[in-house]
Amino acid sequence: MAKRDFLTVLDLDRDELTDVLDLAARLKKEQHAGTLKPLLANKVLALIFHKPSLRTRVSFESGMARLGGRSIYISNQEIGMGTREAVSDIAEVLSRYVDAIMIRTFAHTWAEELARFASVPVINGLTDSSHPCQILADLQTVRESFPDLTGRRIVFIGDGNNVCRSWMNAARRLPIEVTLACPEGYELDAAFLNAAKKDAGDRIRIEHDPKVAARGADVLYTDVWASMGQEEEAEARKKVFRPFQINRALLDLAKPDAIVLHCLPAHRDEEITDEIMRHPRSHIFDQAENRMHAQNALLVRLLAEPWR
């Protein structure tokens, strides 16, 4: 069977995506019950990091260990991707040593080139344009509150960043609605938005008034206003995005059983108030835990029990 990569949510079709989520739920129950089996025994995962991480590194390393496998952390100081050594050479060498490669980097083209030359699966742990593993965890978390995703309204409050793009890709595979609530000028690029709407139609929307967007939402989702690489814009963004904070008033506009998500790290009392971070309807730390379970399910499907 040909190797599979996971660089964007679109690398899985609807049935495969649903299957990964079902498996993630099962693996989570088994781990909590102490019955998780070593499904990845003797498997080795290489972890390439160009960006710092808490959740990505620990969730992958812990997940591999709990499933009986191993992981190897590799910083760019050690390999000098694209400078000390060509990406294609790194891909071919690592493919002789490990069973899969995860990369967390800046340019999405680096993940694509790595996948092009690797003979083992390559997983995108984050690039500037896509964060698909985060969306697997997010979808798992949403399903824990709303088992039937059909028609669920996810409102992403922030800018059109990699997480937002990945959510819209999810809407191209699943019957959910995704609205980006952002200031004017911070939307997704037109080419991506047109392609997404071609698949998902009016289930993908852009709204510039966060109050309008929040009304009737099942999920209010936010992220930091300035991502890694945008530090110089941080102060200016604080002024522009201030009306887009998730706070008690905004949550009150959503459905009574709506949940709040944040992919972390959070800047409390900027994009989200400390009160809402700690609110009973905040599932942010369940969401963080689910990074491991969702990625475990993905790894099992890529390495041990592929889709039939």
Residues taking part in catalysis = 104, 131, 134, 223, 263, 291
* CB atoms inside a 10 Å sphere around CB 264: 16
Q: Which residues contact 179 (CB under 8 A, 6 or more apart)?
A: 153, 154, 155, 156, 204, 205, 206, 207, 213, 217
What is the spatial distance between Cα 305 and Cα 198, in angstroms, rounded to a whole number? Answer: 33
30 CB burial (10 A radius; 0-12, 13-18, 19+) = middle
Strand order in the sheet with 259-262: 204-207, 177-181, 153-157, 219-222, 259-262
3-class SS of residue 206: strand
Q: Which residues contact 23 (CB under 8 A, 6 or more apart)?
A: 297, 300, 301
What is the spatial distance between Cα 289 and Cα 244, in angstroms, rounded to a whole number? Answer: 26
- The number of CA neighbours under 13 Å toward the Cβ of 296 is 33
Query: Taking CA 226 as the corner, what is the angle to CA 115 and CA 270, rounded to the nearest 5 degrees?
Result: 135
164 CB burial (10 A radius; 0-12, 13-18, 19+) = buried
The H-assigned helical ranges of the chain are 14-33, 55-66, 76-79, 87-97, 108-117, 132-145, 162-171, 190-200, 210-214, 234-241, 248-251, 274-277, 284-303
